[in-house]
Amino acid sequence: MNDSSTSPNKLVPTFQTNGVTLDESPFIRIAGISKQFGGVMALSNFSLDIQQGEFHALVGENGAGKSTLMKILSGVITEYDGELWLRDQTVRFRNTREAEQAGISIIHQELNLVNELSVAANIFLGREFKNRMGWLDDRRMEYEAQAIFNELECHIDPKRPVYELRVGDQQLVEIAKALSLNAEILVMDEPTSALTSSEVDRLFRVVHKLLARGVTVIYISHKLDEVFRMSQRITILRDGQKVVTLTTRETTLREVTHHMVGRQIEQREQIARRERGPVILKVDRLSLPHAMSGHRDLLREISFELHSGEVLGIAGLMGAGRTELLESLFGATSEDPQGTISIAGRPVTFRHPEEAVQQGLALVPEDRKRQGLFSHMNVRENISLCSLAELATIGVVQRHREMSHVDDAIALLSVKTGNREAAITSLSGGNQQKCIMARWLETRPSVLLLDDPTRGVDVGAKAELYQIIDRLCAEGLGIIVTSSELPELITLCDRILVLCEGELTGEFSRDEFSEHVLMEAATRRNRS
């Protein structure tokens, strides 16, 4: 293993663990930190120095230890081996409040918002402003929240309850919450996983201002184009250990991905052309009314067909209706959709997702934390949940059959877990996503709906998921996939539909794919 003391790209001196302060000391020093969860070693003797005002990127496959390291730095995890130094002083935070008081703010990969509270109340939760009477000063909190959103150049009502926001806007609330602390160290764990390209640009403009003020940014992302865009150095983790720290301007994307996964990942423009079968799903003039009367429909007059053995992509900017379309097909909307949905030539109406599952549909949701995971259950229970009836005899689940099915699913999707009985919350975000996908594949669907399935998934796991999707298509499955990443849709799909504000504004075959034409359709409303 290489480290900063042996790498030719070393920018800062090596420090001993005896507490001696040397010249040009690092702002943050992580010395020999190890952390184990059950039988899984999340971090092993990890050391790293970070300078003040540096934009330092951490990359690695899911389960490499990145999020565990940041949870230690931000006071979420308090029990670990090794030392953490800040401004030449050893620190060990007992909680997140102590980390915040030390100037550390974190944007978590998993959203940590209180759904019933307003946007402003979430941003200042635990740090509420009060008036002279000791009552909550909602007006001031809303004013301060609006100022942050203005800096982020986004339009979110601070008075609005969080549960009404889509995942992308909730992500922006998490970012606003971190910025409100005026921290000296900003940890960003997959902050753009649910953001559009324009929202990413806005965020990076804010980050640029923070760096100019001397704020230190630690950036975790699977989107390597973002890593190369602003970082000075990149530290690569694999299996809980540091592989190497590289100077960004002196390395390449190929070198970084090779260090991440221990092998070269070949870049493919597109998966090979598929032989599609008959129409398996037909949608005719589908509309979805808004839950509040007087508002524009969330979906309007959408018609398309899906063939077996085909991957149909759904593109569109945030708020275009991608998620609403999949939820309408799956019977998971608060309002009843209008229009006709037919499966294998037979019209169907779903009042509940259970009815959709019985007809061969499965949905992997966009927000795995709120809609996909059962956090109190283990890996086995999360995977087998939707197929227990099939695994039962006379109403009793046959445990040996369940374990066999779960083991096969874990192997199929290469889920990285200590064992099938491990807590689902002990897995990385990407491996949690694989478990949700495994659960729905156990129902043997004929139509698989994937809502941004690679959100928070590393480059190696993405390649594996692409192969799995391709294999499922070859077996005759029809797949509809949404993604905020146009290159992903271009790689995966046989056809792509584009939505803009709930309307279908374009349909493109493989020969017509390009980011330019897709983006043009995504920003063009039908004039009717």
| pLDDT at residue 453 in the model | 85
Residue 83 lies in a domain: no
Tell me the CB-side half-sphere exposure of residue 459, using CA atoms within 13 A: 26
**CATH, residue 274:** 3.40.50.300
- 265 pLDDT higher than 80: no
Contacts of 281 (CB under 8 A, 6+ apart): 305, 306, 329, 341, 342, 343, 447, 478, 480
Res. 8 pLDDT band, cuts 50 70 90: very low
Q: Which stretch of DSSP H or E encloses residue 185?
A: strand 185-189
Question: Does some domain include residue 239?
Answer: no
pLDDT of residue 174: 84
First-to-last alpha carbon distance for the chain, in angstroms, is 62
Handedness of CA 343, 345, 350, 355 (dihedral sign): negative
pLDDT-based confidence at residue 89 (cuts at 50, 70, 90) = very high
User: Per-residue confidence at 104, pLDDT binned at 50, 70, 90?
Assistant: very high
- Structure token pair of residue 212: 């100019």
Tell whether 271 and 323 lie within a shared domain. yes
Residue 28 lies in a domain: no
Same domain for 470 and 397, yes or no, is: no
Q: What is the H or E stretch that residue 282 is in?
A: strand 279-288
Residue 268 contacts residue 252 (beta carbons within 8 Å): no
Domain co-membership, 331 together with 401: no
252-256 average pLDDT score? 86
Residue 455 lies in domain: 266-360+445-528
Q: How many domains in the chain?
A: 3
Q: Where is average pLDDT lowest: 177-191, 390-404, 490-504?
A: 390-404
- Is 60 exceeded by the pLDDT of residue 22? no
How many helices and strands, by DSSP H and E, does the chain display? 16, 22
User: Across residues 153-179, what is the average pLDDT?
Assistant: 85
- pLDDT surpasses 80 at 266: no
For residue 117, being part of any structural domain is answered with yes
Are residues 453 and 350 part of one domain? yes
Give me the pLDDT at residue 294, please: 60
Query: Contact, 129 vs 136, CB < 8 A?
Result: yes
**pLDDT score recorded for residue 385:** 83
pLDDT cut 70: percent of the chain above it: 89
SS3 annotation, 107-162: ECCCCCCCCCCEHHHHHCCCCCCECCCCCECHHHHHHHHHHHHHHHCCCCCCCCEH
CA atoms of 66 and 83, how far apart (whole Å): 17
pLDDT on residue 498: 93
Length of the chain: 528
Same domain, 270 and 356: yes
Instruction: Give pLDDT tens digits for 468-509.
Output: 888 889 889 999 999 877 888 998 999 999 998 889 999 999
Between 84 and 191, name the one with better pLDDT: 84
Q: Average pLDDT for residues 217-223, to the nearest whole number? A: 87
Note the pLDDT tens digit of each residue in 193-202: 767 777 788 8
Do 452 and 319 lie in one domain? The reply is yes
**Predicted local confidence at residue 24, as pLDDT:** 59
- Domain end marker among 139, 156, 181: 181
Of residues 370, 426, 379, 430, the one with CA closest to residue 406:
379
**Residue 450 shares a structural domain with residue 354:** yes
pLDDT attached to residue 482: 93
Q: Is residue 278 part of a domain?
A: yes
What is the pLDDT confidence band of residue 528, given thresholds at 50, 70 and 90? very low
Q: How confident is the model at residue 15 (pLDDT cuts 50, 70, 90)?
A: very low
| Best CA proximity match to 473, nearest among 268, 305, 280 | 280
Task: Write the DSSP string, 480-510.
Answer: EEE-S-HHHHHHH-SEEEEEETTEEEEEEEG
Token representation of residue 91: 């620190």
Band (pLDDT 50/70/90 cuts) for residue 3 is: very low
Residue 197 in domain: no
- Is residue 454 within 8 A of residue 469, CB to CB? The reply is no
Given the DSSP bridges, would you call strands 104-107 and 185-189 parallel, antiparallel or unpaired? parallel
Q: Are residues 417 and 465 in the same domain?
A: no
In a domain, 151, yes or no: yes
The answer to whether residues 478 and 519 belong to one domain is yes
Beta bridge mates, 284: 340
> Would the pLDDT of 33 be above 70?
yes
Least confident stretch, 44-58, 70-84, 137-151, 262-276 = 262-276
Average pLDDT over residues 361-374: 81
The pLDDT mean for the chain works out to: 83
pLDDT band (50, 70, 90) for residue 373: confident
Burial 175-202 (b: 16+ CB within 10 A, else e): bbbbbbbebbbbbbbbbbbbbbeebbeb
Q: Is 209 a domain residue?
A: no
Q: How confident is the model at residue 346 (pLDDT cuts 50, 70, 90)?
A: very high
Out of 83-92, 192-201, 226-235, 357-366, pick the least confident. Answer: 192-201
pLDDT in tens, 405-416: 888 888 887 788
The reply to whether 276 and 407 lie within a common domain is no
**CA nearest 463: which of 496, 428, 493, 492?**
492
The mean pLDDT of 427-442, rounded to a whole number, is 83
Tokens linked to 108: 């978590």
251 vs 240: CA distance, rounded Å: 22
- When mean pLDDT is compared across 72-76, 90-94, 107-111, the lowest value belongs to 107-111
pLDDT tier at 62, thresholds 50, 70, 90 = low
Question: How much is the pTM?
Answer: 0.59
pLDDT > 80? residue 271: no
Q: Taking Cα atoms as reference points, which of 516, 92, 502 lies closest to residue 324?
A: 502
- Which of 439, 455, 473 terminates a domain? The answer is 439
Are 335 and 465 in the same domain? yes
State which of 386, 413, 439 marks the end of a domain.
Answer: 439
Q: Do 404 and 276 belong to one domain? A: no
Rg (CA), the chain: 24
